[in-house]
């Protein structure tokens, strides 16, 4: 059985597999080299040879236990026909959302637009270097995708005041998102993804009263769907106020925590396997601090099924040698 599966299926403790969110990305010079020649990010995600190569780059350098496919959560709105662009020093910019257009998209058109993501997954998962490692497929959670599709850019700290103004539109879009996320998940699994992670990066923006409608119900539907395909599913409801309640309602196979929660409270309150937590900014300090903070998480989760990861994606200014130091610290921990 693969190391991460031992943790999230068998609930085994004591050997801490590790992968890192955004492990394939801008902190690696070999990624920046490819990126500088490929200025259109979406096109790069749809180039299965380059996407597979980028996915494997961090595994060539570090002793990681999983590959996460180089793609983006915004491939979903792109597949639905909404314009998606990435601007330097700005982040994603989406075009106007046209519900009647989106409601017309059929599954064949969607798959036709993004099928090269699945080809990349097939390439990666059949690569001999991944024989004893997981291939992680992923999607954005319905809520986070809704935020991008309606807000048309990152919400940074707050939603626009009139975000919830058109409830009819919001609920229709949520249903469309959910339907196509299922298809996107199924295609990733059919092409070799053997774990799915659901990123809910903007879960922390909602008030408690809105959680059932925008997070619990749509995420639970997806989690149940992934489970029905016999693949484990990890949820990352970033900055949600109550991880315990989330886990009890949504019941993922594992939960990724952010760096603002106290890991000691998590280990006491949460029964399911846990992933992540370390603040990515710690990788910008020095080796001694990094080792100390890493061991802090490992000690806290010593008797709990735990997958080492960060509390959000690795920052672009991180030195690769600090990532190497982190991975080795985790691997050497007894
Ligand atoms: O983890 C990995 O290595 C796999 C690839 C991956 C990317 N995006 C590649 C990427 C994954 C899993 C994502 C998820 C993603 N994308 C999320 C959820 C996780 C999170 O960070 O909260 C979100 C919200 C997005 C949307 C997105 N894509 C944003 C906001 C940005 C721009 C700013 C940023 O944080 O990088 C992207 C671009 C993006 N996605 C890059 C990469 C490597 C940078 C592209 C570049 O400019 O070179």
pLDDT in tens, 131-174: 999 999 999 999 999 999 999 999 986 788 888 888 999 999 99
Rounded Cα–Cα distance for residues 217 and 221 (Å): 6
pLDDT of residue 15: 84
The answer to the question of residue 105 being in a domain is no
DSSP output for 263-332 = HHHHHHH--S-EE--B-GGGGGS-HHHHHHHHHHHHHHTTTS-EEB-BSSPPPTT--HHHHHHHHHHHHH
Residue pLDDT, tens place only, 229-282: 999 999 999 999 999 999 999 999 999 999 999 999 999 999 999 999 999 999
Residues 6+ apart with CB under 8 A from 211: 240
The answer to the question of residue 216 being in a domain is yes
pLDDT of residue 53: 98
Ramachandran region, residue 156 (left: φ > 0; alpha: ψ -120 to 50; beta: rest): left
pLDDT at 176 over 80: yes
More confident residue, 182 or 161: 182
- Residue nearest atom 13 of ligand 1, based on CA coordinates: 72
Distance 35 CA to ligand 1 centre (A): 13
- Average of per-residue pLDDT values in the chain: 96
Rounded Cα–Cα distance for residues 60 and 109 (Å): 35
Distance 308 CA to ligand 1 centre (A): 20
Choice among 41-50, 82-91, 249-258 with the minimum mean pLDDT: 82-91
The answer to the question of residue 81 being in a domain is no
pLDDT at 303 over 90: yes
Could you tell me how many helices (H) and strands (E) the chain has, helices first? Answer: 15, 9
- Which atom of ligand 1 is nearest the CA belonging to 199? 18
Which of 27, 154, 313, 320 to mutate for ligand 1's pocket (most ligand atoms within 8 Å of CB)?
Answer: 313
The answer to the question of residue 86 being in a domain is no
Distance 139 CA to ligand 1 centre (A): 11
pLDDT bin (cut points 50, 70, 90) of residue 103 is: confident
pLDDT of residue 334: 87
pLDDT bin (cut points 50, 70, 90) of residue 57 is: very high
Residue 315 · residue 285 · CB < 8 Å: no
Residue 236 · residue 256 · CB < 8 Å: yes
pLDDT at 206 over 80: yes
Rounded Cα–Cα distance for residues 35 and 45 (Å): 11
Query: Hey, CA dihedral for 222, 79, 144, 311, is it positive or negative?
Result: positive
Strands 84-87 and 274-275: unpaired
Distance 91 CA to ligand 1 centre (A): 9
318-322 contacts at long range (C-beta below 8 A, 24 or more positions apart): 318/27, 318/280, 318/283, 318/284, 319/27, 319/283, 320/27, 320/28, 320/29, 320/61, 322/283, 322/284, 322/287, 322/290
Residue 196 · residue 136 · CB < 8 Å: yes
Which of 52, 56, 72, 280 to mutate for ligand 1's pocket (most ligand atoms within 8 Å of CB)?
Answer: 72
* Average pLDDT rounded to a whole number, residues 92-117: 94
pLDDT of residue 156: 81
Distance 31 CA to ligand 1 centre (A): 13
Distance 107 CA to ligand 1 centre (A): 25
The CATH code of the domain that includes 244 is 3.20.20.210
* Average pLDDT rounded to a whole number, residues 32-41: 97
Q: What is the pTM of this model?
A: 0.97
DSSP output for 112-149 = HHHHHHHHHHHHHHTSGGGTTSEEEEEEE-HHHHHHHH
pLDDT of residue 160: 80
pLDDT of residue 212: 97
The answer to the question of residue 108 being in a domain is no
Distance 326 CA to ligand 1 centre (A): 21
The answer to the question of residue 262 being in a domain is yes
Choice among 12-16, 32-36, 223-227 with the minimum mean pLDDT: 12-16
pLDDT of residue 161: 80
Distance 72 CA to ligand 1 centre (A): 6
Domain of residue 35: give its range: 4-41+55-73+117-143+179-332
Helix or strand (DSSP H, E) at 86: strand 84-87
Which of 18, 20, 24, 25 to mutate for ligand 1's pocket (most ligand atoms within 8 Å of CB)?
Answer: 25
- Which atom of ligand 1 is nearest the CA belonging to 31? 48
Which residues lie across from 198 on neighbouring strands?
A: 139, 235
Cβ density class 235-256: b for 16+ within 10 Å, e for less: bbbbbbeebeebbebbebbbbb
pLDDT of residue 269: 97
Q: Write phi, then psi, for 77 (nearest 5 degrees).
A: -60, -35
Output the ligand 1 site: residues, CB below 6 A.
21-26, 35, 41, 68, 70-74, 86, 91-92, 138, 154, 199, 201, 313
- Which atom of ligand 1 is nearest the CA belonging to 23? 3
The answer to the question of residue 171 being in a domain is no
Q: What is the dihedral of CA 270, 276, 279, 281, to 10 degrees?
A: -170
* Average pLDDT rounded to a whole number, residues 206-217: 96
* Average pLDDT rounded to a whole number, residues 70-76: 98
Residue 274 · residue 242 · CB < 8 Å: no
Which of 58, 73, 239 to mutate for ligand 1's pocket (most ligand atoms within 8 Å of CB)?
Answer: 73
Rounded Cα–Cα distance for residues 155 and 144 (Å): 10
- Residue nearest atom 2 of ligand 1, based on CA coordinates: 22
Instruction: Count up the domains in the chain and report the number.
Output: 1
* Average pLDDT rounded to a whole number, residues 41-53: 98
Rounded Cα–Cα distance for residues 213 and 242 (Å): 16
CA distances in angstroms from 334 to 205, 244, 324, listed in the order given: 38, 28, 18
pLDDT of residue 243: 98
The answer to the question of residue 194 being in a domain is yes
Per this entry, what is the length of the chain?
Answer: 334
For the beta carbon of residue 303, count every other beta carbon within 10 angstroms. 10
Which of 20, 21, 22 to mutate for ligand 1's pocket (most ligand atoms within 8 Å of CB)?
Answer: 22
């Amino acid at each position: 059985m693969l190391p991460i599966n031992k943790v999230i299926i068998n609930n085994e403790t004591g050997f801490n597999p590790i992968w890192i969110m955004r492990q394939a990305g801008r902190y690696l010079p070999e990624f920046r080299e490819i990126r500088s020649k490929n200025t259109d990010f979406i096109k790069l995600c749809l180039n299965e040879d380059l996407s597979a190569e980028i996915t494997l780059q961090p595994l060539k350098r570090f002793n990681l236990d999983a590959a996460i496919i180089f793609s983006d959560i915004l491939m979903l709105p792109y597949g639905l026909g909404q314009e998606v662009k990435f601007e330097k020093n700005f982040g994603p910019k989406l075009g106007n959302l046209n519900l009647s257009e989106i409601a017309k998209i059929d599954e064949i058109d969607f798959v036709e637009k993004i099928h090269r993501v699945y080809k990349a997954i097939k390439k990666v998962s059949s690569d001999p270097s991944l024989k004893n490692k997981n291939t992680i497929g992923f999607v954005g959670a319905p809520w986070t995708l809704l935020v991008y599709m309606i807000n048309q850019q990152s919400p940074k700290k707050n939603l626009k005041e009139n975000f919830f103004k058109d409830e009819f539109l919001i609920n229709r879009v949520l249903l469309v998102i959910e339907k196509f996320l299922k298809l996107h998940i199924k295609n990733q699994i059919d092409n070799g993804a053997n774990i799915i992670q659901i990123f809910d990066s903007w879960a922390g923006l909602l008030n408690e009263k809105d959680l059932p409608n925008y997070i619990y119900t749509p995420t639970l539907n997806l989690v149940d769907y992934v489970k029905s395909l016999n693949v484990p599913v990890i949820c990352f409801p970033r900055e949600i106020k109550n991880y315990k309640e989330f886990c009890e309602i949504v019941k993922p196979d594992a939960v990724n925590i952010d760096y603002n929660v106290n890991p000691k409270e998590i280990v006491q309150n949460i029964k399911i396997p846990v992933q992540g937590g370390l603040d990515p900014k710690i990788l910008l300090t020095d080796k001694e601090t990094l080792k100390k903070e890493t061991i802090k998480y490992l000690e806290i989760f010593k008797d709990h099924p735990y997958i080492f990861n960060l509390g959000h994606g690795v920052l672009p200014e991180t030195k690769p040698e600090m990532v190497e130091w982190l991975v080795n610290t985790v691997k050497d921990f007894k």
